[in-house]
């Protein structure tokens, strides 16, 4: 039996190795070409970093399905589950990361966030026009890239259907998120529905796309979609918890900024139901003016209401549910890694 530390080290190493391959593939799929300023702006956030968790899920799911040793098969020319030709699952992984990057660029404009991944947001580094256009370019590029996996036409059609409906749901989720900021009666179920649309669907797409492209059956595709939805929701809940519990330096932004900016999280939604005056927890709505002591007091009150435990438990339940869905996949090292990836999403410290 390996120790929890050794297991976490192993999953981090697995994510890191796939990240390096994804980082190599991004400029191949999205070269800087004329008009250069547009493509530089489109690449800016992608090049600034990111854990590449969604591509890691996609690539590892492909390995689990094909029942190959992790990192033993070439992602650019990956074995399908039947006699059809080799599949470029790396293109699919880059496509998903490109969608993620497009949504971040547009979200930062909408939320008026100046910083992302420790660098200025695209609309700050360039300008509003360029940021809108860079996001729009990434949007269509993601479809172009997904068209190049070499899969059978009917599987490409199904993959593009998943990609398009995923993008629509992300927009719907973002729209719900905006309307939630003005409401005080959002229920935990409503919150989780919003998170499913805004965040979890892209994890769901990442998990089911290799199944579609490699030719798995519908039961497997559906189960993997469910796995992605579960771990994606858990991922967002963990983000909400980390915003309150991780020191600002480590977080890269002010701890408790969600509270200051009146963002709904599973924690605040639960606390309201427990009768906590959430809007009164922090007096200011300026992240630069809030003190660590104020955040400490707010966190203490949320802990007393059981809201942070509630969020942690919900995330843990979702991860367990997600892992159980993997039973349709061959029992192998890559499947084990998908379970560890799920655990990592809620154990990570930032």
> Residue 143: how many CB atoms within 10 A of its CB?
15
- Cα separation, 82 vs 224, in Å, equals 19
Among 18, 141, 233, 325, binds a second copy (CB under 8 A): 141
Please state whether 192 falls in left (phi above 0), alpha (psi between -120 and 50) or beta: alpha
Residue 113 interacting with a second copy (CB under 8 A): no
Q: Which residue from 32, 41, 64 is spatially nearest to 210, judged by alpha carbons?
A: 64
What are the residues whose beta carbons fall under 8 Å from the beta carbon of 84, sequence distance 6 or more?
Answer: 151, 152, 215
Nearer to a second copy, 39 or 344 (CB): 39
Q: Which stretch binds a second copy (CB under 8 A): 12-20, 79-87, 138-146, 341-349?
A: 138-146
Among 72, 74, 77, 168, binds a second copy (CB under 8 A): 168
Q: Which stretch binds a second copy (CB under 8 A): 143-151, 212-220, 239-247, 275-283?
A: 143-151
CB-based contacts of 242-246 (< 8 A; 24+ apart in sequence): 242/348, 242/349, 242/350, 244/295, 244/298, 244/299, 244/302, 244/308, 245/299, 245/308, 246/349, 246/350
**CA atoms within a 13 Å half-sphere pointing along the CA-CB vector of 91:** 21
Angle at 249 between CA 246 and CA 253, to 5 degrees: 80
Greatest CA separation found in the chain?
Answer: 63
**CA atoms within a 13 Å half-sphere pointing along the CA-CB vector of 203:** 25
Residue 187 interacting with a second copy (CB under 8 A): no
Where b means 16+ CB within 10 Å and e means fewer, 226-238 reads: bbbbbbbbbbbbb
Q: Which stretch binds a second copy (CB under 8 A): 153-161, 205-213, 266-274, 317-325?
A: 153-161
**CA atoms within a 13 Å half-sphere pointing along the CA-CB vector of 308:** 14
Q: Which stretch binds a second copy (CB under 8 A): 32-40, 256-264, 301-309, 342-350?
A: 32-40
Smallest distance, Å, CB 104 to a second copy?
A: 12
Residue 175 interacting with a second copy (CB under 8 A): yes
Residue 60 interacting with a second copy (CB under 8 A): no
Among 81, 160, 242, 287, binds a second copy (CB under 8 A): 160
Among 20, 24, 114, 161, binds a second copy (CB under 8 A): 161
Residue 176 interacting with a second copy (CB under 8 A): yes
Residue 261 interacting with a second copy (CB under 8 A): no
Among 67, 117, 143, 273, binds a second copy (CB under 8 A): 143
- Number of residues in contact with a second copy, rule: CB under 8 A? 41
| Window 118 to 137, contacts with a second copy (CB under 8 A) | 128-130, 132-133, 135-137
Which residues form the interface with a second copy (CB under 8 A)?
34-35, 37-38, 106, 109-110, 128-130, 132-133, 135-137, 139-141, 143-144, 147, 152-154, 156-157, 160-161, 163-168, 171-172, 174-176, 178-179
């Amino acid at each position: 039996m390996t120790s929890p530390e050794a297991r976490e080290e192993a999953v981090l190493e697995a994510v890191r190795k796939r990240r390096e391959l994804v980082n190599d593939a991004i400029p191949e799929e999205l070269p800087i070409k004329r008009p250069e300023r547009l493509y530089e702006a489109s690449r800016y956030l992608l090049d600034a970093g990111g854990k590449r968790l969604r591509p890691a899920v996609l690539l590892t799911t492909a390995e689990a399905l094909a029942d190959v040793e992790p990192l033993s098969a070439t992602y650019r020319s990956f074995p399908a589950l039947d006699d059809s030709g080799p599949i470029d699952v790396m293109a699919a992984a880059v496509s998903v990361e490109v969608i993620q990057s497009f949504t971040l660029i547009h979200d930062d404009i909408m939320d008026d966030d100046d910083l992302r991944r420790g660098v200025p947001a695209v609309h700050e580094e360039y300008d509003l026009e360029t940021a809108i256009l860079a996001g729009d370019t990434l949007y269509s590029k993601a479809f172009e890239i997904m068209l190049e996996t070499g899969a059978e036409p009917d599987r490409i059609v199904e993959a593009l259907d998943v990609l398009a409906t995923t993008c629509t749901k992300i927009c719907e989720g973002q729209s719900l998120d905006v309307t939630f900021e003005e409401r005080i009666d959002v229920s935990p179920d409503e919150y989780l529905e919003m998170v499913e649309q805004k965040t979890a669907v892209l994890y769901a797409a990442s998990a089911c796309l290799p199944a579609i492209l490699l030719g798995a059956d519908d039961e497997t595709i559906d189960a993997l979609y469910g796995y992605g939805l579960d771990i994606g929701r858990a991922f967002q809940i963990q983000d909400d918890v980390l915003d309150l519990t991780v020191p600002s330096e480590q977080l890269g932004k002010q701890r408790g900024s969600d509270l200051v900016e009146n963002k709904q999280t599973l924690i605040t939604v639960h606390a309201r139901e427990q009768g906590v005056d959430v809007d009164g927890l922090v007096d200011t709505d300026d992240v630069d003016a809030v003190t660590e002591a104020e955040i400490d007091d707010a966190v203490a009150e949320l802990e007393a209401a059981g809201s942070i435990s509630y969020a942690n438990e919900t995330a843990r339940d979702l991860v367990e549910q997600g892992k159980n869905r993997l039973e349709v996949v061959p029992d192998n090292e890559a499947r084990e890694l998908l379970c560890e990836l799920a655990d990592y999403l809620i154990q990570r410290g930032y």
